[in-house]
């Protein structure tokens, strides 16, 4: 499916001179990821003069891409402060989470509010073509149901469950995602008539939690994605550690059992072979049958089934021990959990927290373990953040 590019809502930017366009873009991207702020805060953040700031802000207010709210200081004196925020109706962003067995799409307003969402189940070995096609079909339906046109869509971000080379936009470990070879950004652009951006799903989910979720409260934290795959992401001084080629954080492939199962990465005894959803389903099949699904497991857990409780206790031990090792290395303020496993059992944060603190060095005794508040939208929201960060104009 080939598509042609259409005129964009924000095309007024293209008519501006280069320097003013870049300045407007910087203001929009700053407010998009940091939230509403005053003119003086923009000056400080971007290191600009008052006149440069005023010129860019005035242009954006005239085009109604920015709106201005007056707030009082709370004691009834002094001039009200003007806070600038993005006009949420000025554009729509598509976020896509290309998981192992499902594709989830969201439409988000410029203030990252989720307007609509949908999800499709696909076969575990689905390829990029199938994934992008399913995403495009869902987006078309969501655009129609919300009365939005492609003209309003500023960009689409794609979260892929595999390590992504940040320079070539390709999957670096193809055994993890077969049928996903080549430049995925170029591939996505064949299906989506808007700028497209590709990133690793765990890192994007972490980015969303950092900006808009549980990570807002922490400068240093570890994000663990506990899903079909097991991933990690480290935030140090509110910056995500990417690594030399964008491959940092693959804690799912940390060896926790040298005599354990062969992993899909080609290694043996990786954490993912103990706590990934497919691994847990395999371990439960002698007790619950080979066809057992994660939905079944949720029910068995709620019912207190002995085998299911055993499987979860073992998984929590493995996660807690891995988390303790990571805490000893990074000494974070918090460990934030995401993925299906984090949403299955209400006691996961408490239990993994207790195990983490028990095994970690005493300097980590107050580390907090929490479930990320953005839930199943986290990776798709991270993809939205990625668009806002670098692709809005
Ligand atoms: Zn592995």
DSSP 80: P
Q: CA of 197: how far to CAs of 32, 95, 344, in Å?
A: 16, 10, 30
264 Cα: distance to centroid of ligand 1 (angstroms)? 6
Give residue 182's pLDDT: 84
Q: Are 57 and 85 in contact (CB under 8 A)?
A: no
DSSP for 97-157, please give it.
Answer: EE-SSEEEEEEEETT--EEEEEEEE--TT--HHHHHHHHHHHHHHHHHHTT--GGGEEEEE
pLDDT above 70: percentage of residues in the chain:
92
Q: Indicate the average pLDDT of the chain.
A: 90
pLDDT tens digits for 252-304? 999 999 999 999 889 999 999 999 999 999 999 999 999 999 999 999 999 99
250 Cα: distance to centroid of ligand 1 (angstroms)? 9
263 Cα: distance to centroid of ligand 1 (angstroms)? 5
The C-alpha atoms of residue 369 and residue 349 are separated, in whole angstroms, by 6
Residue 49: both structure tokens together: 């003069």
147 Cα: distance to centroid of ligand 1 (angstroms)? 44
Length, in residues, of the chain: 393
Q: Above 80 in pLDDT, residue 29?
A: yes
271 Cα: distance to centroid of ligand 1 (angstroms)? 7
112 Cα: distance to centroid of ligand 1 (angstroms)? 34
Average pLDDT over residues 2-10: 44
Q: Above 80 in pLDDT, residue 166?
A: no
261 Cα: distance to centroid of ligand 1 (angstroms)? 10
Q: Are 391 and 95 in contact (CB under 8 A)?
A: no
Q: Above 60 in pLDDT, residue 9?
A: no
Q: Are 250 and 229 in contact (CB under 8 A)?
A: no
Place of tokens 């990934």: 276
286 Cα: distance to centroid of ligand 1 (angstroms)? 24
pLDDT tens digits for 335-371? 999 999 999 988 999 999 999 999 999 999 999 999 9
Q: Are 253 and 175 in contact (CB under 8 A)?
A: no
How many C-beta neighbours within 10 Å does residue 44 have?
12
Which residues are within 8 A (CB) of 133 and not within 5 positions of it... i.e. 6 or more apart? 1, 191
The C-alpha atoms of residue 117 and residue 380 are separated, in whole angstroms, by 10
The C-alpha atoms of residue 314 and residue 370 are separated, in whole angstroms, by 19
pLDDT-based confidence at residue 6 (cuts at 50, 70, 90): very low
pLDDT above 90: percentage of residues in the chain:
70
Q: Are 372 and 223 in contact (CB under 8 A)?
A: yes
Q: Above 70 in pLDDT, residue 87?
A: yes
272 Cα: distance to centroid of ligand 1 (angstroms)? 6
DSSP 335: E
267 Cα: distance to centroid of ligand 1 (angstroms)? 5
Q: Are 68 and 84 in contact (CB under 8 A)?
A: yes
Give residue 11's pLDDT: 64
Q: CA of 301: how far to CAs of 288, 313, 343, in Å?
A: 12, 11, 12
262 Cα: distance to centroid of ligand 1 (angstroms)? 8
| Nearest by Cα to 385 from 117, 60, 128, 31 | 31
Judging by DSSP bridges, how do beta strands 239-240 and 92-98 pair with one another? unpaired
154 Cα: distance to centroid of ligand 1 (angstroms)? 36
């Amino acid at each position: 499916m080939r598509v042609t590019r259409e005129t964009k809502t924000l095309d007024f930017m293209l008519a501006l001179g280069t320097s003013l366009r870049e300045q407007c873009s910087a203001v929009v991207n700053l407010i998009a990821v940091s939230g509403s702020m005053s003119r003086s805060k923009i000056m400080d953040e971007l290191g600009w003069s008052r006149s440069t700031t005023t010129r860019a802000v005035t242009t954006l207010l005239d085009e109604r891409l920015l709106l201005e709210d007056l707030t009082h200081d709370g004691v009834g004196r002094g001039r009200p402060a003007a806070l600038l925020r993005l006009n949420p109706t000025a554009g729509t962003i598509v976020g896509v989470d290309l998981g192992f067995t499902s594709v989830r799409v969201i439409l988000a307003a410029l203030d990252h509010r989720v307007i609509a969402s949908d999800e499709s189940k696909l076969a575990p070995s689905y390829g990029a073509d199938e994934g992008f096609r399913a995403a495009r079909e869902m987006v078309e339906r969501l655009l129609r149901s919300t009365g939005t046109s492609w003209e309003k869509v500023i960009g689409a971000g794609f979260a892929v469950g595999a390590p992504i080379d940040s320079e070539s936009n390709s999957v670096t470990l193809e055994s993890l995602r077969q049928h996903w070879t080549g430049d995925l950004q170029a591939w996505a652009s064949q299906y989506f008539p808007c700028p497209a951006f590709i990133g690793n799903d765990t890192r994007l989910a972490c980015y969303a939690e950092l900006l808009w979720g549980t990570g807002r409260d922490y400068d240093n934290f570890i994000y663990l994605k506990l899903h079909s795959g097991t991933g990690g992401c480290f935030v140090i001084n509110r910056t995500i550690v990417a690594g030399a080629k964008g491959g940092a954080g693959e804690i799912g492939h940390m060896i926790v059992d040298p005599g354990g199962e062969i992993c899909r990465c080609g290694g043996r005894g990786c954490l993912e072979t103990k706590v990934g959803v497919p691994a847990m389903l395999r371990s439960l099949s002698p007790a619950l049958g080979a066809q057992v699904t994660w939905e079944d497991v949720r029910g068995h857990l709620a019912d207190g089934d002995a085998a299911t409780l055993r499987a979860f206790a073992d998984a929590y031990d493995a996660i807690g021990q891995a988390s303790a090792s990571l805490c000893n290395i990074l000494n974070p303020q918090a460990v934030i959990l995401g993925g299906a496993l984090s949403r299955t059992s209400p006691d996961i944060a408490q239990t993994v927290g207790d195990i983490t603190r028990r095994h970690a060095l005493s300097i980590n005794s107050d580390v907090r373990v929490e479930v990320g508040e953005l839930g199943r939208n986290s990776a798709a929201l991270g993809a939205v953040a990625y668009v806002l960060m670098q692709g809005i104009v």
